[in-house]
Structure 1
Amino acid sequence: MLNCEQLQQAEPSLNVDKNLTPSSLGREELVPSRYAVRVGEIEVLVVSDGVLPLPSAMMAYNVDPAVRASWLDDMFLPADAFDWPLNVVVVRSGGRTILIDAGLGLDPDLHLPRAGQLIKRLNAAGIDLASVTDVVLTHMHMDHIGGLLVDGVKDRLRPDLRIHVSAAEVQFWDSPDFARTSMPPGFPDALRSAAARFMKVYGKHLRPFTEEHEVAPGVVVCRTGGHTPGHSVVRLASRGERLTFAGDAVFAVGFDHPDWHNGFEHDPEEAARVRVRLLQELAANSELLVATHMPFPSVGRVAIDGDVFRFVPAFWDY
């Protein structure tokens, strides 16, 4: 299910748009919040939506707390809470501008002031929401759809906007089952509410696909399942170069311990199998990886060291 055969490669007719290249930081930005990379003729911009603080147990609830604490200590991270990065990607290919996931949004009831930065940072990058022709959702958890629910955003989007999401994902959120997740109190209700609101606001824009769909030249979304029934990854291919946006299939701890279960995974065993297969494939292909919850800008490659994987960050290109 992970392999997308015969990915279409983009034609060399794409004009470089300065909107997808790094520019000077905004006055309010103390650290970089966007990073540009090319995949052949495809332009890619990784944008930070901020960070989402969660209990560290969320990263591995199926292991002894002492073992989890030891891993966190080895990574120089606190044992009780962990800042989950939130990364979103903008892709330009074949004259289309594609937003892959939309971040958390700005819900004051969630009390998460360091997340929900996407719209502000797209504005800072000079990316007009009206230029977005397509949205691809890896899945419909609220930290992937919330940015589109921010007040005033829908009015700035094109009336012919196309939102690509797995049909299995749409079906799941019609009556979601959280029986196999392990989330903090309140999260299941918040996820249900966000998904229901999203369907009400954007239902007519949805373009569901079954297993895979080419959104633009060299941009293919592929359903993996696991994390949610319709969870998908986005594969980019152009002129022999490749990049995969893995959504929530890969977390930082998953390289050392791919069998550790994340609390948001609706089918943790299948999510672990998906993670291993995807990491093996990325290592074999030497292609670039970007993922939602990897440290920004999360651009790197996968290596295999014995029985574990290793993330090799790309050298930043200034």
Structure 2
Amino acid sequence: MNTATPAQGHPAWSLGGTVVRRIDEIVLPPQTGPWLLPEATAEMIDEAAWLRPDFADGGTLLLASHTFAVQVGGLRVLVDTGIGNGKARANPAWNGLSTDYLRRLTDAGFPPDSVDLVITTHLHTDHVGWNTRLVDGNWRPTFPHARYLTSRAEWDHWATAEMDEARRQMFRDSVAPVRDSGQYDPVDVPGQGREVADGIRLVPAPGHTPGQIAVEVRGTDRTALITGDSIHHPVQLSHPHLTSCVDIDAEQAVRTRARLLEQLAGTDRLLLGTHFPDPTGGTVHTDGTRYRLRPEPGTATPPSAD
């Protein structure tokens, strides 16, 4: 049973009246990088010396699983829900987890009963796991009072896609119970994005999956963009052409990544990577003909007030 966890704490970034908190689940094992980004060579990592020590250990890419919690306009919003506990998964690193994620979420001021909105950037195993938890032998929505959102394009794709047994199992334990409770709400996300709450906008980010979204969070001082899997690792700033082994449309994923990086570069907009290890966030800057991340570690903040 995998119980590996990151360092304790609830790093957070203040955007001015809005705080984004990182809720840790697990540090992913070293073999994740070569599996996920197989074309990321040691030479590429060497070319981006800024990746060390935070984002690479020698020639090994470092990755993590976490979610983001935001209190905005009186709403408690959770972006993605990680891998989840006690679930049968083909990936050994994700199988049968037993982490204290829910305690960390609660300690950060977001007990499950208080969450109003859950946004899933896409319907992959490591982004929907805490959608549900086991109650009396049945998978039940973890956030009983929340509206769960994903893009309609994402929802419609998986409704007709050919799925192997591992993915069907994920849908049975982490998606179908929320659908059956009436809490899942697929929404249209046009090219300009869609505002779903005051200061929360869904941004189209297709490629990794057909309907993937990134999530823009606006405060009074600045804006943050939560990547989903449009950018898996900071090495993809230096080498945006690097694609994931699980990208459904790799060429579209590259175009999406290029567009997002171009929009972020040279601004004070914060990039928050869903799988970036600590320090997780930063601003995007040009580095010759490439990009780099200038890390901006989160700071400890008190829990959200009621």
Match of 2:101 in 1: 118
Residue in structure 2 matching 1:45, options 21, 42, 50: 21
Show the counterpart of 1:219: 200
Residue of structure 2 equivalent to 1:9: none
Aligned ranges 1:1-318 → 2 under 5 Å:
31-53=7-29, 54-61=31-38, 63=39, 68-72=41-45, 75=52, 77=57, 83-107=62-86, 109-110=88-89, 111-112=92-93, 117-152=100-135, 154=140, 157-159=143-145, 161-176=146-161, 189-203=165-179, 204-211=182-189, 212-250=193-231, 251-318=233-300
Identical aligned residues as a percent: 26
Unaligned stretches of 5+ in structure 1? 1-27, 179-187
Question: Residues 177 and 267 of structure 1: is their aligned pair in 2 closer, same or farther, counting only changes over 3 Å?
Answer: farther
- TM-score scaled to structure 2, two decimals? 0.80
CA 1:165 to 1:34, structure 2 compared with 1: closer, same or farther past 3 Å? Answer: same
Q: 1:97 to 1:126 in 2, by over 3 A?
A: closer
Q: What is the number of equivalent residue pairs in this alignment?
A: 276
> Hey, what's the Cα distance between the residues in 1 that align with 2:203 and 2:6?
36
User: Is the 8 Å Cα contact of residues 226 and 266 (structure 1) preserved in structure 2?
Assistant: yes
Query: What is the Cα deviation at residue 274 of structure 1?
Result: 0.6
Q: Which deviations, in whole Å up to 9, do the C-alpha atoms of 1:208-230 show, x marking residues without a partner?
A: 11113322211111222111011
Shift, 1:200, TM fit: 1.7
Q: Is the 8 A contact 1:104 1:142 kept in 2?
A: yes
> Are the equivalent residues in 2 in contact too, given 1:58–1:264 (CA < 8 A)?
no
Q: Secondary structure, in 3 states, of the residue corresponding to 1:139?
A: coil
| 1:72 positional shift | 4.8
- Write the distance in 2 (CA, Å) between the matches of 1:136 and 1:172: 17
Amino acid at match of 1:70: E
Counterpart code for 1:142: T
Q: Deviations over 1:30-61 (max 9, x none)?
A: 82342122212112111111123344333433
Partner Cα distance (1:316, 1:220) in 2: 22
Distance 1:197 1:108 in 2: 8
* 1:5 match: none
- Deviation track 1:150-200 (CA, whole Å, cap 9, x = no partner) reads 3148465334x211100011111123358xxxxxxxxx5423321343332
Name the SS of the counterpart of 2:265 in structure 1: helix
Taking the aligned partners of 2:9 and 2:168, their CA distance within structure 1 comes to 29
1:289 counterpart letter in structure 2:
L
Q: Which amino acid aligns with 2:223?
A: R
Report runs of 4+ in structure 1 exceeding 6 Å deviation. Answer: none
CA RMSD of aligned residues (A): 2.7
Counterpart CA distance in 1 for 2:79 and 2:141 is 19
For the 8 Å contact 1:167–1:210, the answer to whether it is kept is yes
